């Protein structure tokens, strides 16, 4: 099977994903649509053909995920079915592997202690929302993610806050990495680990940046800083995942993030793999693309089709 997303959806992707970054506002919404690029996924050798395996039965999916160190569940943030499927997969995985950690793009790294307090039963759900500034920093309905968090709390599963602080992302988009203060740098990887050498990824973001600018929505003409800010998101999340795996290698990590951070391995997965060579990763997109056409490279290891 060959897959694609029409080019007119490119701009939609970045409006939903990074549009607020152009305006330098607080929310760091993640990628929620996808489109083809010429890039060979480094996620796994399983299903080496270019097309992902289509899965309709979640029990069947578990056999492929059982031995993975890191599992990516690529979502569209405003899709309720995606969030329900994420919960179901986590519950099924937990039945066969009690040591599960849930890594969330939706929370920023400075607020990790409040997630820990919530899981430990020390603060309420409402206090978690308030203390993590969830509504200001993410903004999608709380109930999208609340069932997963409630399940984690009930079963004492670690929950990881992955994302870059909004203030840091905005500062990089304005003035580059060198402008960050020592205090701002404490929640991101060392600057030497921010890799911008993926030409395919750069071209994708450049195309989107130019389309956004032409539409009159951009407030910045500095593509290099904009690109740095996008990469910083991925590197920050990848570093947190890698660090947890190194400290807790017996845990299976389930990552909930926007599809744009996962497809083709461009975003988080390749950057985790760069940090930890001997690692098994699997990527799952929670629905089929909107419009299929030609692409010779695998967008993910698996895609879920609940309508089959």
CATH code at 77? Answer: 3.40.50.11550
Q: Are 92 and 85 contacting, i.e. CB atoms less than 8 angstroms apart?
A: no
Reading the block at residue 112, the tokens are 């990790």
- The predicted model scores a pTM of 0.85
Rounded CA separation 255/89 (Å): 11
Q: Residue 2 domain-assigned?
A: no
Task: Give residue 37's pLDDT band: very low, low, confident or very high (50, 70, 90).
Answer: very low
More confident residue, 37 or 278: 278
- The whole-angstrom separation of Cα 248 and Cα 250 is 6
- Asked if residue 55 belongs to a domain, the reply is yes
Instruction: Name the DSSP letter for residue 165.
Output: P
pLDDT in tens, 156-213: 999 999 999 999 999 999 999 999 999 999 999 999 999 999 998 888 788 878 877 7
pLDDT mean over 7-21: 45
Q: How many domains does the chain have?
A: 1
Contact 94, 88 (CB under 8 A): no
H-helix or E-strand spanning residue 162: strand 159-163
């Amino acid at each position: 099977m060959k897959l694609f997303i029409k080019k007119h959806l490119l701009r939609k992707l970045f409006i939903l994903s990074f549009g607020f970054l152009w305006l330098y506002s607080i929310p760091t919404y993640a990628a929620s649509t996808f489109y083809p690029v010429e890039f060979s996924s480094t996620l796994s050798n399983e299903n080496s053909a270019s097309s992902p395996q289509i899965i309709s039965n979640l029990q069947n999916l578990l056999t492929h995920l059982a031995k993975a160190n890191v599992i990516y569940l690529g979502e569209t943030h405003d899709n309720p079915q995606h969030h329900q499927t994420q919960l179901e997969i986590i519950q099924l995985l937990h039945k066969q592997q009690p040591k599960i950690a849930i890594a969330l793009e939706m929370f920023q790294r400075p607020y990790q202690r409040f997630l820990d307090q919530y899981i430990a039963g020390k603060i309420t759900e409402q206090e978690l929302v308030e203390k993590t500034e969830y509504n200001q920093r993410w903004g999608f309905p709380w109930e999208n993610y609340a069932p997963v968090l409630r399940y984690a709390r009930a079963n004492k599963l670690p929950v990881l806050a992955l994302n870059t602080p909004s203030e840091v992302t905005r500062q990089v988009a304005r003035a580059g990495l060198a402008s960050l203060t020592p205090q701002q740098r404490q929640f991101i990887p060392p600057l030497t680990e921010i890799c911008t050498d993926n030409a395919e990824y750069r071209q994708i973001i450049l195309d989107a940046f130019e389309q956004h600018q032409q539409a009159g929505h951009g407030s910045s003409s500095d593509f290099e800083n904009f690109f740095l800010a996008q990469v910083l998101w991925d590197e920050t999340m990848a570093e947190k995942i890698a660090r947890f795996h190194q400290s807790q290698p017996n845990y299976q990590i389930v990552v909930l993030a926007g599809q744009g951070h996962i497809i083709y391995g461009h975003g988080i997965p390749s950057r985790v793999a760069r940090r930890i060579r001997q690692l098994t990763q699997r990527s799952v997109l929670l629905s089929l693309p909107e419009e299929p056409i030609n692409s010779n490279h695998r967008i993910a290891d698996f895609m879920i089709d609940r309508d089959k």
